[in-house]
């Protein structure tokens, strides 16, 4: 079920495993590159080094990495910090998590970002299956079910109940193509509260259909923010293929591993890899509109882009472009410096996927 594309392409097994373990060390341990900080005896958080805050995105990514790497102590530390400082216990968003808080736990927002909630729920379900449930907030399965209940039944749901598509934020009627993780929704359809399981089954299919209209028919690029018909959302300033968008290819790749191949989505990925390998080549570090028009501005997260384009090879037609993307990633080191947080999580997830180590528990 879990392909190791690196070995299929001839890379050394021992070197792959060494690099995998080094990625964990670089993100969670090594002083020069780590973004993880332990607090007291039983808590921890991840810093978005580019914005000097803590985000549900990063906390949930850390939990997903921890369960994949079998690091229960890190998982529990991050989850306890999240519940202590990010949980919203009142107001219209009660039951959600503040998407950004300060390093001291002070909330910067009273609203959530749905990609955090869906990753929290998936990571908690996987933790329940891998380690078993504990008590209180460490009853992982119950915590995951509560999160998903709020996602659908709060005053401002995170999903549009009619079209089954995730919103960019509750109360806004558009989406973010990179938020769509139907391979998680398949899990939710098996493990969420009984009354919501059919919704998650339908949401998974709706998201796969959404990718097909959100990815441009020539370039394969998707916008950061997009309407429910897949067209770029023009009023909020995020209509281009930019930082959020890189995750779409990674998510399609994981969906192909966990759910199965879809010829239309393979075509989307083939277009994307052709665009970067043949059309723009050495100018991949520029921002592009979804139709391929170059914007005279450099990207913030080139390492993350290279990583996710490589992960996309799991869903691509095996050929020169798929192999070029993997080779470029293999020869790209993990990022250092101020902006390393986002790039290195995308780097980690992409490497995990390509080596067959991003798994459903």
Please state whether 162 falls in left (phi above 0), alpha (psi between -120 and 50) or beta.
alpha
The tally of CA atoms less than 13 A away on the side-chain side of residue 64 is 25
Is 278 an annotated catalytic residue? no
Residue 170's nearest CA partner among 232, 246, 242, 94 is: 94
Name the active-site residue from 53, 115, 244, 270.
244
Q: For this structure, is 141 an active site residue?
A: no
- Alpha-carbon span 46 to 34, nearest angstrom: 9
Give the C-alpha separation, 21 to 68, whole Å.
Answer: 12
Q: Which of 26, 57, 76, 255 is catalytic?
A: 57
> Nearest to residue 59, comparing CAs of 35, 34, 90, 82?
82
66-103 core/surface letters (b: 16 or more CB in 10 A; e: else): bbbbebeebbbbbbbbbbebbebeeeebebbbbbbbee
Q: Provide the greatest CA pair distance for the chain.
A: 54
Catalytic residues, by residue number, are 57, 244
């Amino acid at each position: 079920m879990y392909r190791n594309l690196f070995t299929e392409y001839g890379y050394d097994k021992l070197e792959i495993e060494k690099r995998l373990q080094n990625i964990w060390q670089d993100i969670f341990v090594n002083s020069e590159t780590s973004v993880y900080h332990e607090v007291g005896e039983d808590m921890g958080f991840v810093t978005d080094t580019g914005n000097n805050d803590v985000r549900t995105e990063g906390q949930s990514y850390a939990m997903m990495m921890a369960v994949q790497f079998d690091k229960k102590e890190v998982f529990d530390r991050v989850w306890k910090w999240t519940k202590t400082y990010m949980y919203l216990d009142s107001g219209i968003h009660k039951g959600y998590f503040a998407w950004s808080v300060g390093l001291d736990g002070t909330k910067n927002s009273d609203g959530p970002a749905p990609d955090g909630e869906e990753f929290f729920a998936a990571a908690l379900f996987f933790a329940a299956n891998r380690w078993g449930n504990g008590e209180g907030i460490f009853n992982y399965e119950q915590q995951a079910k509560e999160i998903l209940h709020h996602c659908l039944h709060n005053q401002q749901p995170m999903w549009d109940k009619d079209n089954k598509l995730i919103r960019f934020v509750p109360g806004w009627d558009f989406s973010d193509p990179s938020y769509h993780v139907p391979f998680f929704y398949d899990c939710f359809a098996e493990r969420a509260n009984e009354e919501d399981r059919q919704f998650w089954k339908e949401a998974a299919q709706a998201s796969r259909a959404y990718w097909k209209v959100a990815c441009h028919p020539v370039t394969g690029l998707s916008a950061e923010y997009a309407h429910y018909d897949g067209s770029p959302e023009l009023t909020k300033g995020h209509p281009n293929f930019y930082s959020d968008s890189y995750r779409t290819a990674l998510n399609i790749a994981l969906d192909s591993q966990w759910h199965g191949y879809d010829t239309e989505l393979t075509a989307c990925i083939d277009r994307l890899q052709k665009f970067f390998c043949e059309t723009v080549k050495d100018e991949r570090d520029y921002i592009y509109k979804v139709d391929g028009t170059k914007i005279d501005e450099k990207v913030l997260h080139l390492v993350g882009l290279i990583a996710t384009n490589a992960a996309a090879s799991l869903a691509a037609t095996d050929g020169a472009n798929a192999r070029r993307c993997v080779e470029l990633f293999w020869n790209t080191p993990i990022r250092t410096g101020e902006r390393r947080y986002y790039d290195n999580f995308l780097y980690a997830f992409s490497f995990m996927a390509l080596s067959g180590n991003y798994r459903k528990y």
